Amino acid sequence: MESVLGRYRNLIILVGVLFLQVLGLAMQVKKSGNDEEKTRLIRIWAVDAVTPCERALVWVQNGSGNLWHNYFYLRGVRAENRQLKDEIEQMRLQQVRLADDAAQARRLQTLLAFKEQFISRTVAAQVIGSSGSDHSRIVYIDKGENAGIKRDMAVMTSDGIVGKVLLAYPSVAQVLLISDESSGVGALLEKTRLQGVLRGTANGEVVLERVMSDEQVPVGETVLTSGGDQIFPKGLPVGTVTRVGSGRDLFLNIKIKTAADLSKLEEVLVLVEKQERQATAEDEVHMRASDILAQRLPSVPDKSAAVANSAAVAAGSSGASTTAMQPKSAVKQGGIVTKSQGLAASAKAASTAKTAGTGSPATATPKAARNPAGASGVPITLLPEQPIQPAGSPSAAPKTTDASAPTTGAEPDGSQSNPPSAETKPVKPSTPPQANPQPPGDENNPQ
Amino acid sequence: MHITYTSGEQVEVYRFSIPVTIGIPLLALFAQAFVPLRFPRFAVYIDLPLLVTIFFAMARRSPISGLLTGAVIGLAQDMLGHNPIGIYGIAKTVVGYGASSLGVKLDVENAGARFLVTLGFYLLHAAVYFTVARGLVNMTQTWSWPRGILAGLANAFLGVVLYFVLDKFKQRT
């Protein structure tokens, strides 16, 4: 007996070790519901052993990369900046159109008592590692439970969804990518509104399943989340259809190119808080695209300001003209200025003009902040061109009645400076403002 | 110097210092987890922990040591993924045992032999993984010969270079 054991010792040990591992596997498969809990501790050890090195390497890599990109490699930045500004112009116009559509949708949702899900809070995290295997498509991010990340939270980039949090450790979290075989996401096609289930395949592709084969699905159609999985809010971009073929059991096999590049993930956003609320149609009046366009067109500053000023003094109706000028002023002030701030600024400008006649801005009412064209309160973000002046600084608090006077804080183009807190002090012009007034002398400023 | 005699052929048995024994597999696991972030195809074609397993097993020429090395490295690799722990463990245990048993019988010091051994063990590893994942865990797996051979060749090339570097850490017993 001893000679047999001695002779086959290696083989016996091999069989024993294999048997133990098979046993362990069988237990995990049997208790798949609590699998993560049972194996959590040893996974933590493995993750703790590997992630510090990854974290350090990512830090070094980012540091050297930043040094190169921020200091040495600035070729073409000026041209790019110009191009981006042009893009911002286009997007601003588009934003106005979309804001109108969104408001209309909200009104309709209110009528139907829809509930909406909003992304309330996200945590930005950096991808620091992967499983290192094509059988397990997961990545590790450098934020965990300490940052409020929990299991089953959605993970996305600005391009589209990435996956969900599978396990959250104190300082690290494991994210299951949507390209993994075990992943499943509720999705719908944007135009046809067909719903399906998004799944990963063994070779890392993403397919949309459960769409009946008699449906027409065009290649190139956008795929969005449907919200049916209770993880991803509805309407997040998933990708586009790249190929449609016949699948099994009367279903189509639809291949998807993901919007987020899953093979080159660096930074992601974890959706830590969703908010569900009843849709409400807010009492918003919208800035029209033509208003935005008008702001960007060149004006004749000195002349118009002078005319505006004289009109304010003479007829007490300068509120209208300054209102027409104000959006540009809002843009020029820098900082993130909303339309409402711009309107408040216009009211302040109006009050400043009015002060010339009455000297009593303190008697003004908030109604003055209303745009005569009916535009107010649309949260259009205007990007900075100049740094914002602190409230109370000479330029931020004009003291004279001449809106065009540079020494009193007016912009060189004749528009009035507005402090950041301008919207808290709206004043009412003495006369009702005209609808869409054309500033005198500003012939290039169509409304 | 200890010399192991097998069928009248002399083969040398090597050992490694503790830092190397622990550090090299850890480094391989770390690189396997990190490099795919920059080179996504790396994880598809290269299996650094497997190469380290084969190297240690062949150098030590002890089946027990080889299978235990394979088991530990494989289990650690399993822990970094989300699949049940043990699939890589089983596959690398078999490879560790096979590589060390082969190391006892053959001269695996030259580059050509190492290339062929690594190619063969890569395919064995893939076959065992496929069988266990599909048969025991019911994972969806697709077998692709072209991909398997391509990955095997890539690992074999990298293995020959890697073994040459790792040879520097060998200590004669």
For the segment B70-126, what is each residue's pLDDT rounded down to a tens digit? 999 999 999 888 888 899 999 999 999 999 998 888 777 888 899 999 999 999 999
- List, run by run, the mean pLDDT of 10-residue segments along chain A (447 residues): 76 91 82 56 76 81 78 78 90 88 80 67 88 88 91 90 91 92 90 90 87 87 89 89 83 91 88 72 56 59 51 46 39 39 42 41 38 39 40 40 39 40 39 41 40
What share of chain B in percent tops pLDDT 70? 93
Hey, what are B93's tokens? 């245990």
**Buried-exposed string A320-342: b where 16+ CB fall within 10 A, e elsewhere:** bbbbbbbbbbbbbbbeebbbbbb
- Inter-chain CB proximity B86 and A21 less than 8 Å: yes
* Contact list, A142 vs chain B (CB under 8 Å): none
- Inter-chain CB proximity A181 and B68 less than 8 Å: no
Burial category of A117 from C-beta neighbours within 10 Å (exposed 0-12, middle 13-18, buried 19 and up): middle
- Inter-chain CB proximity A166 and B94 less than 8 Å: no
Closest CA to A130 of B46, B32, B49: B32
- Choice between B34 and A416, residue whose per-residue pLDDT is larger: B34
As a whole number of angstroms, the distance between CA A55 and CA A52 comes to 5
- Inter-chain CB proximity B43 and A132 less than 8 Å: yes
- What is the predicted pLDDT for the residue at A294? 61
- What is the predicted pLDDT for the residue at A286? 55
Nearest CA in chain A to B42: A132
Closest CB to A25: pick one of B67, B68, B137. B137
As a whole number of angstroms, the distance between CA B159 and CA B150 comes to 14
Q: DSSP state, A417? A: P
Alpha carbon of A20: minimum distance to chain B alpha carbons (Å):
9
Instruction: Please compute the mean of the pLDDT values over residues B45-54 and round it to a whole number.
Output: 94
Closest CA to A167 of B81, B115, B87: B81
Confidence of residue B7 (pLDDT cuts 50, 70, 90): very low
**CA A9 centroid distance within chain:** 63
Q: Is B93 within 8 Å of B71 (Cβ atoms)?
A: yes
Model confidence pLDDT, tens digit, residues B155-172: 999 999 999 999 988 887
Question: DSSP alpha helices (H): ranges in A333-406?
Answer: 339-357
- What is the predicted pLDDT for the residue at A67? 78
Report field, pTM of the whole predicted structure over 0.95 = no
As a whole number of angstroms, the distance between CA A106 and CA A103 comes to 5
Question: What is the pLDDT of chain B when averaged over all its residues?
Answer: 87
- Inter-chain CB proximity B83 and A50 less than 8 Å: no
**CA A391 centroid distance within chain:** 29
Q: Which amino acid is at A84?
A: L
**Which residues in chain A (395-414) have CB-CB distances under 8 A to chain B?**
none
Nearest CA in chain B to A137: B81
**Which residues in chain A (191-250) have CB-CB distances under 8 A to chain B?**
202-204
Contact status of A70 with chain B (Cβ, < 8 Å)? no
Q: Is A177 within 8 Å of A206 (Cβ atoms)?
A: no
As a whole number of angstroms, the distance between CA A250 and CA A211 comes to 9
- What is the predicted pLDDT for the residue at A429? 39
Q: Which amino acid is at A351?
A: S
Alpha carbon of A114: minimum distance to chain B alpha carbons (Å):
38
Residue A403 sits at φ, ψ, to 5 deg, of -65, -20
- What is the predicted pLDDT for the residue at A65? 79
Asked if pLDDT for residue B137 goes beyond 60, the answer is yes
What ipTM was assigned to the predicted interfaces of this complex?
Answer: 0.84
Closest CB to B67: pick one of A13, A29, A182. A13
**Buried-exposed string A85-110: b where 16+ CB fall within 10 A, e elsewhere:** eeeeeeebeebbeebbeebeebeebe
- What is the predicted pLDDT for the residue at A140? 92
- What is the predicted pLDDT for the residue at A153? 92
Alpha carbon of B139: minimum distance to chain A alpha carbons (Å):
9
